[in-house]
Amino acid sequence: MKRTAMWKDALWKDALRAVSGNGKRFAAIVVICAVGVMMMCGLNTVGKDIRAGLDEFFDETDMHDVAIVSTLGLDDDDIAALRGVDGVADAAGERSAAVTTKIAGRRASATVTTVTDRGIDRPYVIAGRLPKSGHEIAVTQQYLDDAGKSVGDTLEFEPDDSTTTAATNTASSDTATGMFAEGRYTIVGTVIDPNDIVNPTGPLALVSGTKTVYPMFVDADAVSDDAAAYTSAVITVAGAKAMNTYDEDYLGTVTAAKDAIAAIQSKRERIRTETVRDAAVDNALAKLAEQNATIDALPDGSPAKAAAQANRSAAERQVQEQVRAAIPDVTWIVSDRSAVTSYEDVKTQSEMVSRLGTLFPALFLVIALLVSLTAVTRMVEEDRGLIGTYKALGYTRRETMLKYVIYSCAACLLGGLIGDALGLVALPFVFTRRLISRIYVLPDYPLLFDWRLAVGGVLLFVVAITGTAMVACMGSLRLNPAELMRPKAPKAGRTIALQHVGFIWNRLSFLGKVTARNLLRYKSRALMVIIGVLGCTALMTAGFGMGSSALTLMPRQHDEISVYDVLAVTSAADHDTAQKGLDRDKAVASTLPVQLGSVTLTSPGGGDSAGDSSTGGEKITAQLMVVPDGSSLDGYIDLHTKDGAPIRLGDAGKNGIVVTTNAAGTLSLTQGSRLVVTDRMADSAELDVHAVTQYYTGNVVFMTQRAYEKAFDTDYAANADLIDVRGDDAAQIAFADRLAEQDEYLSVTSSAKQERDFSKSFLIFFVMIGFIVVMAAVLAVVVLYTLASTNISERQRELATIKVLGFRRREVHGYVNKEMLLLACFGIALGLPCGRALLGFLVSRLDLPGMTIVPNVAWFCYAAAALLAFLFTLLVSLATNRALDRIDMVGALKSPE
């Protein structure tokens, strides 16, 4: 028993000595495992942290689970009925109106919304408080920054008649003065709108290209008419708050509540329709009664009085019929959180990051397997005699293998623990707190700790690498002790293929011939060098290419598609005045009046009509551009397919539209698909997709005037101009700034300024590029250093021989390094096209809202990737030269290798 315990103790001591005696190989496995686990845990944790941050924010603000917009508004009876629906926790009515206000002397668009008395959709307070009386208001930080104001200052707004909603227009008599009381409002708080968390200065806001609309919030006392209809209803679902907003149980709970709401929908729509029609008839009859009173005041016997009194009843009946017929049936648009753009954006971006959390660790796991296989195989070769001794002493295969299993397992565990620390804390902190915060204005992101992910990532590398170590040992352990104790017979020399090409082989120097033979002699090591450099080069090519693709996104949009210089938006009422000013402006080369508006696009399956809006289906927000009949987008916007085939908007017909590539991709649309388009007045139309046009930034739907008027049964009203400006970029920006100072304009966007700001906002891409380059450097250095060290240790006798023969230091360095550099060149040559393919794969997985990134690798991206990969190889070669200098010639020549 003592002898057995002593043997086992010796094995454990030998295993521990292996770690210290092979420190460089051990460190290589540790680094590769640490990076792989870090990326697996970190990127997956980042995705979860982003979602958790939004979920906590929604919980804190009591964000609605279901929202209802009615074409004719809602009343207190509708809200009470919704509160009684099975599965509904609470419901509240909201009143909202589009207004205009002055910012730095120019008009700007805003949306004023009442804070509900039930706390649903409560704005998140950053500073100050929420309004508590009629003339108090809360605004966003963006408004304060743009207007140069602070809490305690005042503002004024007035109704924006160009965007009056259908509910206000039909159901309320207060359209002349607006829904909210006029006068000065005191700013009492700075808030975040839970329905819009996109950073207004971030890349998503710049890509959308839509005009800035400032959210503002007032108390219910600010409503000028208490009888005014609610513009929407916001609803919370019982039990939903305790669930994660993206989990399947949450989605199922909300769907069940929507189904229950659908059960009362048609009844409430009928009741509301009759209520609005009765109120409208009452108003009409009241005006008719005033007219009748005037007629009754006429002298008796007057022919006009007699005729009017005779036809009074028939006139009254006709008015009732006409007014009731003019008011359409009420339609409810029922939606869940997926209709909130920020909700869907966070979903797609977190999924994108999580997918990267699978791709990159897989690459590093493969590299870790190669590194560990090389390291353990070399250790086994060095311990060949020792293994034979152990077997001769009676140690079993399992006991003999223990040393290498412990070695590899210890490296994996140490690397895994380091990777967990970096991946669960450092990487999420950088990505969520420093990068994602530039995209969204959420107040905080939780740093989640998923122990299953932490343990699973480490176990994956432990099992894979330990298994590789066991495989590396099996070949030697099958041999008998006598064979293991003898030196391993060297490989027999072979004629290489290049020797048969005489005009090349005969012209090679002696060292050139040696290098050629060595490259083919050590095939496995040569292949691993090539793979390591290939992976490094491919990663850097993809990283630089991603930056190039992102930075050229906006220039390509303006050079190839949106070739106009300035987009100027007014209200419909002010457009004629603004147009006359543009026609007189000498800086303007040409203009194209269009109608712009915001719409919601619903994919097939998202409801075939407005009345079926409660069903599922993807939804996105897009910009609607209506082109007047007789006009063409030529010279302003070049519509063409991905293949470059031109698209004529006029060929779309009276029921066709043209959609952009990003919208088509998100909603799975192709030519001939059906699409439900819902405008700001909650009117919906089902239209045919005539074509899908290439578009890099933003989601846009293009329609002709006749198609728009037929689909939405309303008149075309221009409210924007696409403008070509004379002069260079500076002149165009100056013109846009001058235009923005005029009262008629709500929004003025310069293409040149947009390009400049866009590149500044894309910090996240530059950080990602830096991250990828660092990971590529780690990959290259670890692989190359491990292989170079192994190469030197395997060839000590050979290298000692050439040193004895009189090779100088630099000649010895060149003898070894030449092979490494040649293999690196092969790896670089293969890595560049592989990097381009990797970029295409990554871009296909980058679901960035409103962006269609086309892979674009400029020549300098290839040059930078190749140069850095070669530089990393050169640095490793220089680092291993010290090991060449330290070779003991006498000791190496005495060795049996």
Q: What is the pLDDT of residue 257?
A: 93
Q: What is the pLDDT of residue 342?
A: 76
pLDDT (mean) for 202-209? 58
Confidence at 263, pLDDT banded by 50, 70, 90: very high
Task: Return the higher-pLDDT residue of 255 and 211.
Answer: 255
Q: What is the pLDDT of residue 170?
A: 39
- Tokens linked to 272: 């509301």
Question: pLDDT at residue 737 above 60?
Answer: yes
pLDDT in tens, 779-835: 778 888 887 777 777 777 777 777 777 778 787 777 788 888 888 899 999 999 999
Confidence at 265, pLDDT banded by 50, 70, 90: very high
Percent of the chain with pLDDT over 90: 16
Question: pLDDT at residue 656 above 70?
Answer: yes
Q: What is the pLDDT of residue 643?
A: 85
d(CA 578, CA 575) in angstroms, rounded, equals 5
- Tokens linked to 591: 């203009």
Return the SS3 of 623.
Answer: strand
Instruction: Strands of 560-664 (E only): list them.
Output: 566-570, 588-602, 619-627, 656-660
d(CA 147, CA 138) in angstroms, rounded, equals 14
Q: What is the pLDDT of residue 302?
A: 66
Q: What is the pLDDT of residue 112?
A: 92
- Tokens linked to 253: 């709970």
Question: pLDDT at residue 234 above 90?
Answer: yes
d(CA 406, CA 12) in angstroms, rounded, equals 9
pLDDT in tens, 754-771: 777 766 656 666 776 777
Q: What is the pLDDT of residue 828?
A: 93
Question: pLDDT at residue 629 above 50?
Answer: yes
Confidence at 626, pLDDT banded by 50, 70, 90: very high
Burial of 1 (0-12, 13-18, 19+ CB in 10 A): exposed
CA distances, 31 to each of 38, 368, 399, 538, 778 (Å): 10, 9, 27, 20, 8
pLDDT in tens, 413-449: 998 899 888 888 887 877 776 667 667 777 777 777 7
Nearest CA to 191 out of 113, 278, 252, 253 is that of 113
At a CB cut-off of 8 Å and minimum separation 6, what does 674 contact?
604, 608, 686, 687, 688, 689
Q: What is the pLDDT of residue 165?
A: 37
Q: What is the pLDDT of residue 233?
A: 93
pLDDT (mean) for 60-72? 90
pLDDT (mean) for 242-251? 89
- Tokens linked to 58: 């929604």
Q: What is the pLDDT of residue 509?
A: 78
Q: What is the pLDDT of residue 617?
A: 57
pLDDT in tens, 543-558: 888 878 877 777 888 8
pLDDT in tens, 668-725: 888 888 888 888 776 788 888 988 999 888 788 999 999 898 888 888 889 899 999 9
d(CA 849, CA 196) in angstroms, rounded, equals 14
The Cβ of residue 141 has, within 10 Å, a number of other Cβ atoms equal to 14
Nearest CA to 415 out of 858, 31, 144, 763 is that of 31
Return the SS3 of 53.
Answer: helix
d(CA 546, CA 854) in angstroms, rounded, equals 9
- Rounded to the nearest integer, the mean pLDDT of the chain is 80
Burial of 263 (0-12, 13-18, 19+ CB in 10 A): exposed
**Contact (Cβ atoms closer than 8 angstroms) between residue 591 and residue 713:** no
> Which of 510-519, 547-556, 658-667 tops mean pLDDT?
658-667
